[in-house]
Chains A and B, each alone.
Chain A
Amino acid sequence: MKIQEKLLNDLAPRKFDKLGVIWTSALILLIIAGVIAYIDQIIKGQVVTNMRDYALWGIYISNFVFFVATSFVGSVIVAILRLTHNEWRTPLVRVAEIITLASIVMAGITITLDMARPDRLLNLFIYARIQSPITWDVIIIPTTIAISFLLLYFPLLPDLAILKDHFKDKKPRLSRWYGRFSLNWRGTTVQKAIQTKSIKIIAIMIVPIGLMLQTIDAWLFSTTYRIGWDSTNMGAYFIAGAVVAGVAALIVVLFVVRKTKKLENYITELHFDKLGKLLALACLIYLYFNMNEYLIPSYTPSTGEEIHLKTLFTGSYSFLFWLVTIGGLILPVLFLLFKKGRKPLPMFFIGLVVVICSWWKRYIIITPTLLHPFLPIQGVPESWHHYFPSLHEWLITIATLAMALLIITILVRYLPVVPIQRTADEQEKLNNEKH
């Protein structure tokens, strides 16, 4: 019981400090700005974006792909590490689950921002045609949202019950909320059996569902004839990229949470070391698929492919292309090879760079391809030959990113980021083994 008290002291949710209040207000302001921009987009039409008939998709879509990618971290950390019996994952799982839920919810919202007629959203169900990859998305995204929610929720039940007791006298209202969400958890053997079984099923389900989600996302592009998209490599390429983006996002959030909540004793250097190795592995695998995607086609390029690859290697998109390839993949691997590079602070910066590069990577996948159609671009204004997001697009996109961070912030504020019950059980087990 003593262990639990100490744990509760360390892990129970605490009020925002000053910095937390500023951070949260800033996020809310960004979201408001985005909502205003979106309302304006609804009124005037997507003419407020810089998308046009050739660059027909822009950062709404690449941002959507980014969210889908980061949502994969739940499948990787929770499910794959679980299936491979990597016990060190315990203090990381909840943060990973929170990122997954926030990302996939935002992915669902982001894709509708790109729809020019959101008022006809129901048509996706009324007139659904199963052969369209968008219909597959309509099926897989809500499924992933549901499963991700359960994956976060079921393991929380014991902790919610603990928090209900913890706040009983201090904050009765909060305590009542924890009580409601704890679904009457008492920790009986029957309850534990049901919970263990449910978590096991969900943890296994999230693996194929996560893989399907990433693959369908890739198929949105590879089901077209477009040069740069029409590739059989696409599914695996997106899965590998999702591991990179997801693990990097986890490292960044983990660092911030650890620092602000003073969890150095729970999220240790060992965890960052392990995550560093995982990120390095992910980057190497992604590099392999990048070679398949860009280097090998450059040996036998068709005319169109040659133009496309030239734009990326030496042309107008070369700066971004090499930035995301070298800065987002090659350099991180080099730094992470050294033990010093896998310390928390360097890892934070590496993670941050990888996340930012992951975002631009999706931009590089989507935009250049659209600007190289099969027939030449003619008969349209000069500005339609290029694409760079408009103010509206930036405001709306930044708002979606802010909303994802807000969801994470709120969940981190009210939920124990390191599982209390499970940590207690594990420590008890450890102590028993010692004696």
Chain B
Amino acid sequence: MKEQENNANNSRRSFLKKGIALGAFSATALAIASFQKDDVDETGEKVKLLSPEGEIVEIDKAYVKPAQDLHLPLDSKKIREGIPNRKFVMVIDLARCKNALNCVSACNKHHHITGKNAWLKVYKMQESKDTAPYWMPSTCQHCDQPACVTVCPVDATFKRRDGLVLVDNERCIGCRFCMAACPYSARVFNWEEPDQGEITMNMDMNMTQHASTPEHAGLPSVKGTVDKCDFCPHAIEKGELPHCVSACPNGVFYFGDKYEDTVTNGDETLRLGKLLEDKAGYRLMEGLNTQPSVFYLPPKERSDDFKDGLDKYKKFQSVEKPEQS
């Protein structure tokens, strides 16, 4: 069962890899496709692609080849700059969220979260007793006007040009001012030495650099410093989607690039602007003027009952204890 799920995830991920690659470089892909037209046997199976002009075009699957390497080489000094000409955004469709919590476990697993407070949590929301309850996944909002960055005394948390707000755990002094400043309670603290025995041991054995990087938060976490959702730049770099996006069985999370006006949840690739317009997208606490990079689609016309998610809801736990083996 689990294997099947993994396989499904993998195939979706590899599809995604292509999807994003094609989304980003569709012009190139199209050029290649037309160039090679004569040498390929058509399969008859059509694939939809988004052209740079925003038109959906159909093309035979045989012509579609994933861009070989989307690896965007990043000078280590440019970690604070970010990937040029990108602006990453996320859309969370509350109408689809059933509190399946696959996002949370995937995030916990890939970031080696060993504390008691997950970076990504699914909140059980109900603004007042007269309004409807709904499930709300909440990540770091990667604000364009981040309150956390403003108050940091040492520039340990910083805003990149590609929209990401990251933390340099080698510089953080552990004053927790950023946590006080964040209205979304997105930040968590390493109150003690993180018990990530496995990964630190592996790092020792591989003789790799032990220093943590803001580009892969949690690997390893550093005692006395702040951690939070990093929008998975380590995955983006490989042309993959953030772990929560690919793990979600209900397609709740869309991830993409605002400049390309494109977001994808792995199954479908959509225009960001149109999606937000059609489904009345909004951002959390817009009134605070933090300008988040995460958009929400209201929980209307939900396919499932809110109550179905209650089975999995744990008020006092967001990180499962590691299985004893």
Are the chains A and B members of one assembly? yes
User: Which residues of A pack against B, CB within 8 Å?
Assistant: 44-47, 49, 51-54, 56-57, 114-117, 120-121, 123-124, 126-129, 131-135, 138, 220, 223-226, 303, 370, 373-382, 384
The reply to whether B152 and A132 form a contact with Cβ atoms under 8 Å apart is: yes
Interface stretch of the complex, out of B23-31, B81-89, B172-180: B172-180
Interface stretch of the complex, out of B47-55, B58-66, B181-189: B181-189
Residues of B within 8 A of A378 (CB): 121, 123-124, 315, 318
The reply to whether A129 and B153 form a contact with Cβ atoms under 8 Å apart is: yes
CB of B2 within 8 A of chain A?
A: no
Q: What are 21 A-B residue pairs whose CB atoms fall within 8 Å in the complex?
A: A46-B189, A52-B191, A54-B185, A114-B175, A120-B174, A121-B173, A123-B156, A123-B173, A127-B153, A129-B155, A132-B150, A134-B177, A138-B153, A223-B151, A224-B180, A373-B185, A374-B285, A375-B184, A378-B121, A378-B315, A379-B314
CB of B78 within 8 A of chain A?
A: no
What CA separation (Å) do A384 and B174 show in the bound complex?
19
Known A45-B223, A375-B138: A115·B185 in contact at CB below 8 Å: no
The reply to whether B176 and A56 form a contact with Cβ atoms under 8 Å apart is: yes
Known A116-B173, A376-B123: A56·B150 in contact at CB below 8 Å: no
User: Which residues of B pack against A, CB within 8 Å?
Assistant: 116-118, 121, 123-125, 128, 138, 147, 150-156, 171-177, 179-181, 183-185, 187-193, 223-225, 285, 288, 314-318
The reply to whether A224 and B152 form a contact with Cβ atoms under 8 Å apart is: no
The reply to whether A127 and B171 form a contact with Cβ atoms under 8 Å apart is: yes
Q: Top 8 nearest A-B pairs by Cβ distance?
A: A116-B174, A379-B318, A116-B224, A47-B192, A134-B153, A132-B153, A45-B192, A127-B154
The reply to whether B121 and A374 form a contact with Cβ atoms under 8 Å apart is: no
Cross-interface CB contact of B189 among A116, A226, A370, cutoff 8 Å: A116
Residues of A within 8 A of B184 (CB): 374-375
The reply to whether A116 and B318 form a contact with Cβ atoms under 8 Å apart is: no
Q: Beyond A45-B193, A124-B153, A226-B183, list 13 extra A-B contacts (CB 8 Å).
A: A44-B192, A46-B192, A52-B191, A54-B185, A116-B189, A116-B225, A126-B154, A225-B183, A226-B180, A374-B183, A375-B123, A376-B125, A378-B124
The reply to whether A124 and B173 form a contact with Cβ atoms under 8 Å apart is: yes
Residues of A within 8 A of B316 (CB): 379-382
Chain B residue at minimum C-beta to C-beta distance from A43: B193
Cross-interface CB contact of A132 among B172, B177, B225, B315, cutoff 8 Å: B177
Cross-interface CB contact of B180 among A56, A127, A381, cutoff 8 Å: A56
Residues of B within 8 A of A46 (CB): 174, 189, 191-192, 224
Interface centre among B117, B121, B150 (most CB of A within 10 A): B117
Interface centre among A129, A135, A379 (most CB of B within 10 A): A379
Residues of B within 8 A of A47 (CB): 191-192
Chain B residue at minimum C-beta to C-beta distance from A227: B183
The reply to whether B152 and A45 form a contact with Cβ atoms under 8 Å apart is: no
What CA separation (Å) do A115 and B224 show in the bound complex?
8
Q: Write the nearest CB–CB distance from A294 to chain B, whole angstroms.
A: 20
Residues of B within 8 A of A384 (CB): 116-117
What CA separation (Å) do A126 and B156 show in the bound complex?
12
Cross-interface CB contact of B224 among A45, A131, A223, A224, cutoff 8 Å: A45
Chain A residue at minimum C-beta to C-beta distance from B181: A224
Residues of B within 8 A of A52 (CB): 117, 189, 191
